[in-house]
């Protein structure tokens, strides 16, 4: 029997980069193949080609022994290939049912058979143990639930090959465990699975084989049995990576940021931050741990002036900051690495160079009075791209042309460039490869050592544990405990995050 | 609820009721409503053009031009062949071609859609002014006839079921479009393409193909609206014949929240307002200068857009070109 998926010599060039350079790879039924690589290594490009979304410049892709027709996504789907994309491919205003049936709708005459669709989805969700409400509207659902819809969509057509492009990037630890279980079950039932992820422990937990891409080339293949996380990281980055952050004892100074009785409502007008008091000292990293959706996002947005403070105040060096005024808050001394880099961190159509000075484009040296000094902007861009190892053919390409991890580096580089007294970093390494994570972590530590007060909010408990000097646990809109990190116990914090008392 | 938003529903009911009580004489009331329907139809049909395009994410501001050139072709072909049906067919062909041209510019060339629409409007104005000949006539117009039984229903019969063929065709298109958008595969796919094209692309739906189809069919619908004016309502053609109806239609589309029935309700409101104004003048209750009556649609467009501004939510991918695999 021929392999489920056979990729032979695929090459795809984009202006200025070779995204895939002569890549060959096979996937057999019943195995989980993890595809590893840094951001921009060409993983997504390869899988888009497999799914018929883009046409490679050369090479061949066979599914079940027959070559695919490039550009014929519907044909690829009908041959039993399902894909969960890195960015949700769901229509926000439509229902779960409408999203799942899109492209191959059950019909009665010329009309959509809504009853049949509803029943089919209930059956599907029962079969895979992924519960959904077919009539719920996507935009009202939490991300974990949306991801579940994505997976059901991919599984709908008796899938033989399932491709998952960073499916765990936005999930909580519990949701990730659940998903890995689903992946294992599917593989055991004979489905071939290709998994892209940046989280090496997931690879170790679930993969049968590992294939590593670097700079568009296939640089190695291994299996979890033959290596460990450090070995995988080294293959990806091409040098040894320190997974454990080295940091010295914090030199804690005076209180810089003070939050008093803060209450904030979420988008649905429900009180999600229910009275938070917090002091952040100069020269320390305070990590806020918590299961996502427990008010962290609203908390950060309220501090940074992006969301109305229902009650309470935020003081910097004893001076209250203005509510709902991001610019004033920034002037008062807070830089902010936002959770959603696409929406709040970057202007997609601006160049990387312009994005790097968004916070100080109107100040010297980037402006002289009313006139921008573009030479300075360019000089800054070139040196920053070099220093932060932002992978791009040119600093003057648009930010939208960058891969996720490189976009994040632009945001981090910009926010650290000013050296303000307070740095608020929300999910700073989400969707970022190990090499870049190491880099970003070191940048946060060095900002701390230079005297900044860093508020780190992350859904990754490991990140919180390895970076923070103190850890605050947030649950149901409240800080339920603050512990010194040297006294922190993983299990204890995990229980607090889950809302359990002691 | 998808059929009519509550607000639009109340609004329409209020308008209908006001007139009903005001023009107490039953014959007069009926005729005002029938006239209102006649005025409303081209606006409503033109709004359908906008809805079909924007639901798939293409902004079409070339409706005015499409209607103008179609009305022109309808009238002059009918005059040349002395056959209004041939005129209608020629107009539908012309409208489809205008749609196709817009699709080529907006989908294949990924041009700015406002500019693409403007090109169509300028082209239509230029061509029709250049080719216009005075003194042509057509043999007849699409005459009113009664739909048996239905036309005997008190009030609604004469208002809705005694019209010319193109009015019925137009109303049928609006209803069919409503059903199609919310209940067929085509409608589901169109909405997905207009809201989040990469979702459709990754589900195996061709974004470009669907956009081409919809914009072209929409052109044909715009042509029927133009032909209706030339071959049924007015029976002639002059320069600047459409008089802003294609732009008003875009406002109605927004007010009707991209829902065919919503836009029809909004158009009825406009049509009735015009019919009231006419009746008030005929009855010599008020003496409004005719310039004011002529300006009424524009004034109302501004008011309506001011009321609904910021409260509506257009298809999310409106106006954005899509490249396959742009996930």
> pLDDT, tens digit, for every residue of B104-149?
999 999 999 999 999 999 999 999 999 999 889 999 999 999 988 8
Residue A127: how many other CB atoms lie within 10 Å? 10
B204 contact A CB<8A: yes
Give one DSSP letter per residue of A223-251, joined into a string: -TTT--HHHHHHHHHSS----SPP-PPP-
CB contact under 8 A, A51 and B202: yes
Q: What pLDDT does A270 receive?
A: 84
- The rounded distance, in Å, linking the Cα atoms of B214 and A242 is 55
Question: With 60 as the cut, is the pLDDT of residue A154 above it?
Answer: yes
- The rounded distance, in Å, linking the Cα atoms of A190 and A469 is 46
- The rounded distance, in Å, linking the Cα atoms of A181 and A188 is 11
- The rounded distance, in Å, linking the Cα atoms of B122 and A126 is 58
Question: With 90 as the cut, is the pLDDT of residue A171 above it?
Answer: no
- The rounded distance, in Å, linking the Cα atoms of A449 and A443 is 10
Which residue does chain B place closest to A105, by CA atoms?
B185
Which residue does chain B place closest to A156, by CA atoms?
B203
User: Is there a contact between A97 and A90 (Cβ–Cβ < 8 Å)?
Assistant: no
Residue A67: how many other CB atoms lie within 10 Å? 11
Q: Which residues contact A29 (CB under 8 A, 6 or more apart)?
A: A4, A160, A190, A191, A192
Sorting pLDDT into bands at 50, 70 and 90, what band is B222? very high
Q: How open is the CA angle A80-A85-A86, to the nearest 5 degrees?
A: 155
Give the B window 34-53 contacts with A, CB below 8 Å.
none
Question: With 60 as the cut, is the pLDDT of residue B24 above it?
Answer: no
Q: What pLDDT does B303 receive?
A: 81
Three-class DSSP labels, A168-180: CCCCCHHHHHHHH
Q: Which residues of A touch B325 (CB under 8 A)?
A: 48, 53-54
Question: With 50 as the cut, is the pLDDT of residue B2 above it?
Answer: no
B205 contact A CB<8A: yes
User: Is there a contact between A429 and A198 (Cβ–Cβ < 8 Å)?
Assistant: no
**How close is the nearest chain A Cα to the Cα of B49, in Å?**
22
Which residue does chain A place closest to B199, by CA atoms?
A89
Q: Which residues of B touch A54 (CB under 8 A)?
A: 324-325
B201 contact A CB<8A: yes
- The rounded distance, in Å, linking the Cα atoms of B203 and A338 is 31
Q: Is the ipTM of this complex over 0.95?
A: no
Three-class DSSP labels, B248-317: HHHHHHHHCCCCHHHHHHHHHHHHHHHHHHHHHHHCCCCCCCHHHHHHHHHHHHHHHHHHHCCCCCCCCC
Question: With 60 as the cut, is the pLDDT of residue B4 above it?
Answer: no
- How many pairs of residues across A and B have Cβ atoms under 8 Å apart? 83
Question: With 60 as the cut, is the pLDDT of residue B181 above it?
Answer: yes
Q: What pLDDT does B1 receive?
A: 38
Question: With 50 as the cut, is the pLDDT of residue B165 above it?
Answer: yes
Using CA of residue B248, residue B249, residue B252, residue B254, what is the dihedral sign? negative
Q: Which residues of A touch B316 (CB under 8 A)?
A: 92-93
CB contact under 8 A, B199 and A91: yes
* pLDDT tens per residue across span B268-327: 888 888 887 777 777 777 777 777 777 776 777 788 778 776 678 899 999 999 988 776
Residue A59 buriedness (CB in 10 A; 0-12 / 13-18 / 19+):
middle
**How close is the nearest chain A Cα to the Cα of B134, in Å?**
47
* pLDDT tens per residue across span A295-332: 999 999 999 999 999 999 999 999 999 999 999 999 99
User: Is there a contact between B60 and B40 (Cβ–Cβ < 8 Å)?
Assistant: no
CB contact under 8 A, A86 and B324: no
Mutate to test the interface with B, among A75, A80, A103 (most CBs of B within 10 A): A103
**How close is the nearest chain A Cα to the Cα of B187, in Å?**
10
Q: What pLDDT does B18 receive?
A: 59
- The rounded distance, in Å, linking the Cα atoms of A414 and A348 is 15
CB contact under 8 A, B189 and A102: yes
Across the interface, of B184, B188, B200, the residue whose CB is closest to A110 is: B184
| Average pLDDT estimate for A458-476 | 90
Q: What pLDDT does A201 receive?
A: 86
CATH architecture of B6-12+23-133+159-308: Orthogonal Bundle (1.10)
Which residue does chain A place closest to B314, by CA atoms?
A93
B189 contact A CB<8A: yes
Percent of chain B with pLDDT over 70: 90
* pLDDT tens per residue across span A394-437: 999 999 888 888 899 999 999 999 989 999 999 999 878 888 88
3-state secondary structure of B24: coil
Sorting pLDDT into bands at 50, 70 and 90, what band is B246? very high
Percent of chain A with pLDDT over 70: 99
Residue B293 buriedness (CB in 10 A; 0-12 / 13-18 / 19+):
middle
Residue B231 buriedness (CB in 10 A; 0-12 / 13-18 / 19+):
buried
Pairing of strands A371-372, A367-368: antiparallel
Q: What pLDDT does B32 receive?
A: 84
- The rounded distance, in Å, linking the Cα atoms of A48 and B198 is 12
User: Is there a contact between B72 and B237 (Cβ–Cβ < 8 Å)?
Assistant: yes
User: Is there a contact between A291 and A459 (Cβ–Cβ < 8 Å)?
Assistant: yes
Q: What pLDDT does A3 receive?
A: 86
Give one DSSP letter per residue of A284-309, joined into a string: -EEEEE--TTSSHHHHHHHHTTSS-E
| Average pLDDT estimate for B154-162 | 84
- List chain B domain ranges: 6-12+23-133+159-308
Tell me how long chain B is: 327
Q: Give this prediction's pTM.
A: 0.80
Task: Tell me phi and psi for residue B100, to 5 degrees.
Answer: -60, -40
Tell me how long chain A is: 502
* pLDDT tens per residue across span B79-100: 999 999 999 999 999 999 999 9
User: Is there a contact between A405 and A40 (Cβ–Cβ < 8 Å)?
Assistant: yes
Stretch (H or E) spanning A157:
none
* pLDDT tens per residue across span A246-271: 788 888 999 999 999 999 998 878 89
Task: Tell me phi and psi for residue A137, to 5 degrees.
Answer: -85, 135
Sorting pLDDT into bands at 50, 70 and 90, what band is A501? low
């Amino acid at each position: 029997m021929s392999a489920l998926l056979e990729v032979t010599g695929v090459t795809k060039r984009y202006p200025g980069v070779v995204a895939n350079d002569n890549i060959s790879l096979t996937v057999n039924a019943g195995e989980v193949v993890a595809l590893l690589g840094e951001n921009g290594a060409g993983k997504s490009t390869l899988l888009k080609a497999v799914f018929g979304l883009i046409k490679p410049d050369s090479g061949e892709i066979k599914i079940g022994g027959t070559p695919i027709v490039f550009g014929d996504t519907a044909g690829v789907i009908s041959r039993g290939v399902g894909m969960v994309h890195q960015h949700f491919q769901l229509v926000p205003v439509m229902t779960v049912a409408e999203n799942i049936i899109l492209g191959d709708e059950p019909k009665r005459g010329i009309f959509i058979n809504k009853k049949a669709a509803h029943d089919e989805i209930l059956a599907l969700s029962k079969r895979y143990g992924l519960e959904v409400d077919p009539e719920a509207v996507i935009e009202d659902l939490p991300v974990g639930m949306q991801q579940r819809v994505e997976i059901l969509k991919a599984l709908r057509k008796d899938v033989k090959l399932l491709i998952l492009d960073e499916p765990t990037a936005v999930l909580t630890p519990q949701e990730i465990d659940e998903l890995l279980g689903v992946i294992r079950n599917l593989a055991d039932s004979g489905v071939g699975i290709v998994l892209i992820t940046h989280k090496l422990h997931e690879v170790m937990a679930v993969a049968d084989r590992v294939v590593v891409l670097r700079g568009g080339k296939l640089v190695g293949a291994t299996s979890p049995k033959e290596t460990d996380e450090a070995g995988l990281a080294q293959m990806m980055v091409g040098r040894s990576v320190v997974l454990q952050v080295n940091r010295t004892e914090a030199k804690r100074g005076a209180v810089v940021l003070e939050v008093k009785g803060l209450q904030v409502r979420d988008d649905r007008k429900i009180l999600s931050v229910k009275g938070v008091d917090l002091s952040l000292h100069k020269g320390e990293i305070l990590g806020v741990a918590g299961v996502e959706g427990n008010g962290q996002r609203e908390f950060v947005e309220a501090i940074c002036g992006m969301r109305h403070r229902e009650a309470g105040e935020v003081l910097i060096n004893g001076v209250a900051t203005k509510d709902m005024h991001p610019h004033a808050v920034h002037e008062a001394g807070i830089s902010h690495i936002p959770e959603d880099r696409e929406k709040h961190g970057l202007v997609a159509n601006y160049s990387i160079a312009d994005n790097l000075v968004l916070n100080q484009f109107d100040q010297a040296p980037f402006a002289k009075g009313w006139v921008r000094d573009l030479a300075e902007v360019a000089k800054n861009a070139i040196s920053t791209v070099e220093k932060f190892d932002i992978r791009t053919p040119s600093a003057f390409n648009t930010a939208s042309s960058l891969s996720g991890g490189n976009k994040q580096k632009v945001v981090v580089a910009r926010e650290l460039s000013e050296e303000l007294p307070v740095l608020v970093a929300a999910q700073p390494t989400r969707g970022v490869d190990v090499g870049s994570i190491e880099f970003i972590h070191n940048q946060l530590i060095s900002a701390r050592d230079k005297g900044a007060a860093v508020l780190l909010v992350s859904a990754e408990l490991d990140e919180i544990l390895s970076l923070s000097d103190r850890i605050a646990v947030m649950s149901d809109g409240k800080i339920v405990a603050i512990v010194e990190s040297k006294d922190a116990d993983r299990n204890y914090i995990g229980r607090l995050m889950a809302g359990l008392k002691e | 609820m998808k059929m009519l938003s509550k607000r639009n529903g109340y609004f329409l009911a209020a308008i209908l009721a006001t007139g009903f009580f005001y023009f107490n004489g039953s014959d007069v009331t009926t005729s005002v409503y029938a006239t209102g329907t006649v005025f409303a139809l081209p606006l409503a049909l033109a709004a359908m053009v906008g809805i079909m395009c924007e639901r798939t994410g293409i902004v079409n501001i070339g409706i005015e031009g499409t209607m103008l050139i179609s009305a022109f072709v309808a009238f002059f072909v009918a005059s040349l062949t002395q056959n209004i049906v041939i005129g209608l067919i020629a107009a539908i062909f012309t409208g489809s071609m205008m749609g196709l041209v817009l699709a080529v510019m907006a989908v294949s060339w990924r041009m700015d859609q406002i500019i693409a629409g403007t090109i169509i409007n300028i082209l239509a104005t230029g061509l029709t002014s250049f080719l216009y000949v005075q003194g042509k006539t057509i043999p007849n117009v699409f005459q009113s006839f009664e739909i048996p039984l239905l036309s005997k229903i008190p009030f609604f019969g004469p208002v809705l079921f005694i019209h010319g063929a193109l009015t019925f065709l137009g109303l049928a298109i609006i209803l069919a479009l409503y059903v199609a958008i919310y209940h067929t595969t085509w409608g589901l796919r169109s909405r997905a393409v207009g809201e989040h094209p990469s979702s459709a692309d990754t589900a195996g739906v061709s974004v470009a193909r669907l956009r081409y189809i919809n914009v072209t069919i929409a052109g044909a619908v715009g042509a029927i609206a133009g032909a209706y004016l030339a071959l049924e309502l007015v029976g002639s053609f002059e320069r600047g014949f459409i008089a802003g109806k294609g732009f008003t239609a875009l406002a109605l589309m927004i007010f009707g929240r991209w829902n065919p029935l919503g836009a029809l309700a909004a158009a009825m409101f406009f049509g009735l307002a015009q019919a009231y104004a006419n009746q008030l003048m005929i009855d010599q209750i008020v003496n409004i200068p005719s310039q004011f009556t002529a300006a009424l649609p524009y004034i109302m467009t501004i008011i309506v857009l001011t009321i609904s501004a910021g409260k509506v939510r257009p298809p999310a991918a409106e106006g954005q070109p899509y490249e396959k695999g742009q996930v």
